[in-house]
A and B are shown apart, each in its own frame.
Chain A
Amino acid sequence: MSDYAADVAALARKDLLLELRSRDTLPAMLLFVVSALTVFHFALPAGSSARAETGLLWIAIVFTALLGLTRAFAAEREHGALDGLVLAPSDRSAIWLGKTIGVTAFLVLAELVALPAFALFFHSLSWELVAAVALADVGIAAIGTVLAAMAAASRARELLLPLMFLPLVIPVVIGGVGASVAVNPGSFLAFLALYDAVFVILCWASFEYVVTE
């Protein structure tokens, strides 16, 4: 394994281990997404279309991701560990990639509960929907990690992150909802893949600038 891959693996493993110990992010995400779906049931008038329900699922996913992202650098903030990572000789983009993998893992775990819950509460899932969620996770985690690092350097932190995050994920919601309800899901899935590719490259290349001066 190359040094780069080993760094990324060590950093991602560290995030999963920390979560396993402290258990403060993932349970919150799980509880939040199920609560949100319950609220949505009552927010939707009886007899609402499957389309409206699917749209609300996407809202739940985006906000659950946001909840996890506000905590993304919490462990690093506690004792200034981000400085320690930045000082290490590894490429700084490895910090981003490790963190993105961790965030994606939490998101996927939250959805492993959210999607069956959605199927139980509302209506059955299509494979297009599941594929769209998987694709969306990558883009959301990639962008969210960079924005979370930016927000961590600001005074407003928790306030700033959603403001920066939501406009950027509007295309994800468009792609996700389209893939779930449109007659031509293929083009929406392709769009999500394109979104992922473009932003993953941009985030990978720019993260170094966000954590250094």
Chain B
Amino acid sequence: MIRAQNLSKRFGDKRVLEGLDLEVARGGFVIVTGPNGSGKTTLLRLCAGLAAPTDGELDVYVPRGRIGFLGHESLLYGELTALENLELYGRLYRLPERRERSGAMLERFGLWRVRNERAGTFSRGMLQRLALCRTFLHDPDLLLLDEPFDGLDAEGAELLHAELTERSATALVATHDPEALEPRATARLALA
């Protein structure tokens, strides 16, 4: 599903990724580890098509609309409510029954009672939950998750675990806490 050969990314003169080879098969679940600044976020942004490689080849065999991307930032609008945010993305992803789907997703991540509150008023953990709702909303075939447990409380982490176990999508997950995802992992990629 993803094939990278000799992949490199530089920001100006700064090398972030250098000569990376990677192959992720359909249904694979790859945990990406590495210290800060080792290029985990960059790798995910490259795979999502948000950044272009400086050198090397990168093929992602999934259409743009079938990718679920969770970034450092929530990619949401602070002045829209939780429900409005999801409905907007539902519209852009051409989902049928957007309202029901968004509602169900909010319910699953324990946000139903705050559905009509603005995302800007959410705490860090609630915002992360909403960002996860946005990521999973269109049932993506490829998940690109950057520190998905960031800011989540025990309950939130539990919910995310359940979600990931349930889904069969191919996944590339960058995390500082690989043990938590170990049972689901098919491969591990350590960046230096």
Contacts and interface: CB of A to CB of B under 8 A. Distances in A.
Interface stretch (B21-29, B31-39, B73-81, B104-112): B73-81
A45 interface: no
Given A88-B65, A88-B92, A83 B76 contact: no
Interface stretch (A30-38, A52-60, A72-80, A194-202): A72-80
B167 interface: no
B69 A10 contact: no
A75 B89 contact: no
Nearest to A87: B69
A184 interface: no
A3 B91 CA distance: 9
Contact of B63 (A80, A86, A89): A89
A17 B80 contact: yes
Interface in B54-103: 63-65, 67, 69, 71-80, 84, 88-89, 91-94
A124 B137 CA distance: 55
B180 interface: no
Given A7-B92, A85-B92, A88-B89, A213 B52 contact: yes
Nearest to A213: B52
A86 B77 contact: no
> Which of B52, B69, B94 has the most chain A CB atoms closer than 10 A to its own CB?
B94
Given A7-B92, A80-B71, A212 B78 contact: no
Q: Classify chain B's interface size.
A: 20 to 34
Nearest to A90: B92
Contact of B74 (A17, A75, A79): A79
Contacts of B118: 21
B49 interface: yes
Contacts of A212: 49-50
Contacts, number: 76
A89 B94 contact: yes
Contacts of A83: 50, 69, 71, 73, 75
Nearest to A82: B75
Contacts of A85: 92
B48 A87 contact: yes
Contacts of B162: none
Given A80-B71, A87-B64, A87-B67, A22 B89 contact: no
B88 A10 contact: yes
Contact of A79 (B63, B75, B84, B93): B75
B51 interface: yes
Contacts of A7: 91-92
A176 B162 CA distance: 61
Nearest to A9: B91
B134 interface: yes
A14 B84 CA distance: 9
Interface in A3-39: 3, 6-7, 10, 14, 17-18, 21-22
Interface of B: 48-52, 63-65, 67, 69, 71-80, 84, 88-89, 91-94, 118-120, 127, 134
19 contacts: A3-B94, A7-B92, A14-B88, A18-B77, A78-B120, A79-B73, A79-B76, A83-B50, A83-B71, A84-B76, A84-B89, A87-B75, A88-B92, A88-B93, A89-B63, A89-B65, A89-B92, A89-B94, A90-B92
- Nearest 8 CB-CB pairings of A with B: A89-B65, A80-B73, A84-B75, A213-B52, A88-B92, A10-B91, A79-B74, A21-B79
Interface of A: 3, 6-7, 10, 14, 17-18, 21-22, 75, 78-81, 83-90, 212-213
